[in-house]
C-alpha cells in the first residue's frame, strides 16, 4: 500500500513513455483514487500514450483493479463493490487512449417505472477495433434516472472488456 493514487496513474504513464518498449504491460499497484489525482495527471500526459495492438490493451484492461480504487455501494443489500465511472474512464484513457463511448438507445418501460440505456464502448488498437455494448436500468423516481442507467451500462460495457470484471464474481 505504498503508492498513492496520484503516483499509480502517473507511474503507469511515465513507464509507458520512458520504457524502451512502450508496449510493456505494467500491473496495477495498490493505490486509492483521490481528487488530487484528477488535478495532477494532466490530459496531455494521457495523450502521449501510444496506440497499441488490441491484444495488449485487452490484457491490461483484464488485470485486477486495486481494492483502493473500488468503492462500496452501501444502500444495496448486500453492499456491492463497484468502480466509479470516472475511475473507469481514466483507466480506459491510460490503456486505450483512443477509445470512444456512446449511448445507443434510451428506452422507458411501458409502465413508466424504469428507464434503460444501451451504451457502446469501442476500443481502437493499431491492428483492429472492437466494441462491446451493455445495458443499465434505473427507476424513474431516482434523481437523474438516465444518468444512473448510463453509468450502470458504462460500467457493464467496461466489464465486457475485462475491466473490473473481477467484482462480478462472488469470491472476490
Quick: pLDDT tens for 12-43: 555 554 443 434 433 333 334 434 333 333 33
Per residue in 53-95, pLDDT (tens digit) is 999 999 999 999 888 899 988 887 788 899 999 999 999 999 9
139 phi, psi to nearest 5 deg = -70, 140
Chain position carrying cell 449511448: 103
* Domain count along the chain: 1
CB atoms within 10 A of CB 99: 19
How far CA 172 is from CA of 34, 50, 94, 107, 166, in Å, comes to 23, 32, 24, 33, 7
CA neighbor of 82 nearest in space, from 71, 93, 94 = 71
Q: Which three cell numbers stand for residue 91?
A: 483507466
Q: Looking at residue 163, which CATH number applies to its domain?
A: 3.30.390.80
Domain that holds residue 99: 5-168
Amino acid at each position: 500500500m505504498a503508492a498513492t493514487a496520484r503516483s499509480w496513474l502517473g507511474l503507469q504513464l511515465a513507464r509507458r513513455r520512458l520504457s524502451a518498449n512502450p508496449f510493456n504491460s505494467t500491473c496495477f499497484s495498490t493505490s486509492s483514487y483521490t481528487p488530487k489525482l484528477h488535478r495532477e495527471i494532466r490530459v496531455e500526459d494521457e495523450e502521449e500514450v501510444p496506440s497499441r495492438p488490441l491484444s495488449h490493451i485487452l490484457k491490461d484492461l483484464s488485470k485486477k483493479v486495486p481494492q483502493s480504487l473500488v468503492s462500496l455501494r452501501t444502500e444495496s443489500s448486500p453492499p456491492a463493490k463497484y468502480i466509479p465511472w470516472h475511475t473507469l474512464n481514466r483507466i480506459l484513457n491510460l490503456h486505450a487512449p483512443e477509445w470512444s463511448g456512446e449511448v445507443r438507445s434510451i428506452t422507458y418501460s411501458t409502465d413508466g417505472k424504469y428507464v434503460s440505456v444501451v451504451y457502446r464502448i469501442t476500443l481502437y488498437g493499431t491492428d483492429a477495433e472492437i466494441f462491446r455494448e451493455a445495458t443499465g436500468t434505473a427507476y424513474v423516481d431516482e434523481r437523474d434516472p438516465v444518468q444512473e442507467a448510463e453509468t450502470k451500462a458504462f460500467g457493464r460495457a467496461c466489464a465486457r472488456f475485462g475491466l473490473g470484471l473481477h467484482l462480478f464474481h462472488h469470491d472476490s
